């Protein structure tokens, strides 16, 4: 990959050690001849990443999700350094970042493209999600009836607590907690997983990249919350459709050359067991 000569740091100041780590990595970047800008604000202001070669996020996965929209729009790859808990998206540990930052700046890294969901509301609002789009009752306690169509054809009507629409990247998040499948990140698909469905045969469905999903709120008294990556809450009233599809935008994630997705899954989810002869 090309060397990084302009780098932006997005730092979650609430995470212990994040500011000190940012200062150390910024010093390495300046020593390598790169220009540096830094903020502790997220989500980012519009256009803040324009012209940057990379964005280094220091915090947890939630911090990284706060830069997705701007990074995708500016086509700036994201380096995630974990100062949170699990860190599926922020794949560099502090030790790895400190030891390998000079090599990363010199171009010894790879960038993988991750699919994004586009969520469209009846009022014209559009949002991007790296992990998921969640639809549920605004009160948080009411059962909802949600009718789903795929490319104009009826899939089914769910009576459930909500629906999670997930990218492969987000399959380890809410989707997994709701009983949905793990999906290899390179797959261009959308997973739809019902939350606590009242019909036992209702299970997660995998849709291809060409699909356009529409969800109609068929509960006359319920108002839906539409949560995008857990932070941007929108609303949809009775019979108003919410559209979900794969976006033409993608997010670049910086990884070290030896990064292995399922090694991370095994470690983070604490998989165990083996095959015996």
Q: Tell me: the pLDDT tens digits for 11-46?
A: 999 999 999 999 999 999 999 999 999 999 877 889
* Shared domain check, 241 and 263: no
Binning pLDDT at 50, 70 and 90, where does residue 2 land? confident
Binning pLDDT at 50, 70 and 90, where does residue 262 land? confident
What is the distance, to the nearest Å, from the Cα of residue 161 to the centroid of all Cα atoms in its chain? Answer: 22
Tokens, residue 54: 């990379």
* Shared domain check, 225 and 185: yes
CA distances (Å), 123 to each of 95, 120, 126, 130, 236, in order? Answer: 46, 8, 9, 22, 9
pLDDT at position 276 over 90: no
pLDDT mean over 197-206: 90
Whether 277 is in a domain gets the answer no
pLDDT mean over 149-166: 96
Tokens, residue 82: 């974990």
What does the pLDDT read at residue 169?
A: 95
* Residue 198 lies in domain: 116-248
CA atoms of 171 and 112, how far apart (whole Å): 17
* Shared domain check, 11 and 71: yes
* Shared domain check, 183 and 162: yes
CA atoms of 253 and 111, how far apart (whole Å): 5
* Shared domain check, 35 and 18: yes
| SS3 state of residue 163 | strand
pLDDT at position 122 over 60: yes
Number of domains in the chain: 2
Among 61, 132, 137, 161, the one annotated catalytic: 61
How many C-beta atoms surround the C-beta of residue 14 within 10 A?
A: 12
3-state DSSP percent of the chain in helix, strand and coil, to 5: 20, 40, 40
pLDDT at position 153 over 80: yes
How many C-beta atoms surround the C-beta of residue 17 within 10 A?
A: 11
What does the pLDDT read at residue 236?
A: 64
CATH number for the domain spanning 240: value is: 2.60.200.30
Do the Cβ atoms of 253 and 54 come closer than 8 Å?
Answer: no
* Shared domain check, 60 and 184: no
What does the pLDDT read at residue 257?
A: 80
Q: Is the pTM of this model over 0.85?
A: yes
The answer to whether residue 239 is catalytic is no
Identify which has the larger pLDDT, 89 or 193.
193
* Shared domain check, 121 and 66: no
* Shared domain check, 140 and 67: no
Whether 165 is in a domain gets the answer yes
* Shared domain check, 80 and 18: yes
| SS3 state of residue 97 | helix
pLDDT at position 229 over 60: yes
Identify which has the larger pLDDT, 222 or 227.
227
CATH number for the domain spanning 11: value is: 3.40.50.10330
* Shared domain check, 242 and 135: yes
Binning pLDDT at 50, 70 and 90, where does residue 274 land? low
Torsion angle, alpha carbons of 222, 228, 233, 237, to 10? -30
Binning pLDDT at 50, 70 and 90, where does residue 146 land? very high
* Shared domain check, 206 and 142: yes
What does the pLDDT read at residue 273?
A: 65
Over the Cα atoms of the chain, what is R_g? Answer: 20
Phi, psi of 170, rounded to the nearest 5 degrees: -80, 5
* Shared domain check, 243 and 159: yes
Whether 84 is in a domain gets the answer yes
CA atoms of 63 and 83, how far apart (whole Å): 10
């Amino acid at each position: 990959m090309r060397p990084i000569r302009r780098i932006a740091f997005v730092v979650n100041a609430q995470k212990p050690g994040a500011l000190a780590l940012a200062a150390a990595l910024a010093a390495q970047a300046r020593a390598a001849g790169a220009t540096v800008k830094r903020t502790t604000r997220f989500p980012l202001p519009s256009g803040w990443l324009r012209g940057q070669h990379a964005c280094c996020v220091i915090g947890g996965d939630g911090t990284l999700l706060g830069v997705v929209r701007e990074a995708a729009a500016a086509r700036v790859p994201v380096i995630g350094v974990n100062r949170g808990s699990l860190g599926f998206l922020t794949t560099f540990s502090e030790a790895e970042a400190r030891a390998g930052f000079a090599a990363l700046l010199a171009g010894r890294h790879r960038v993988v493209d991750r699919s994004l969901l586009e969520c469209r509301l009846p009022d014209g609002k559009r949002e991007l999600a790296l992990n998921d789009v969640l639809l549920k009752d605004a009160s948080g306690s009411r059962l909802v009836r949600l009718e789903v169509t795929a490319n104009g054809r009826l899939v089914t009507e769910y009576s459930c607590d909500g629906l999670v629409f997930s990218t492969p990247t987000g399959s380890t998040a809410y989707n997994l907690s709701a009983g949905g499948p793990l999906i290899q990140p390179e797959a261009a698909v959308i997973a739809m997983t019902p939350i606590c469905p009242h019909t036992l045969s209702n299970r997660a469905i995998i849709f291809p990249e060409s699909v356009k999903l529409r969800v109609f709120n068929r509960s006359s008294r319920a108002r839906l919350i539409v949560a995008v990556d857990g932070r941007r809450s929108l609303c949809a009233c009775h019979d108003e459709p919410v559209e979900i599809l794969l976006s033409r935008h993608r997010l670049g994630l910086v990884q070290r050359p030896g990064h292995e997705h399922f090694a991370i899954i095994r470690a983070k989810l604490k998989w165990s067991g083996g095959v015996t002869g």
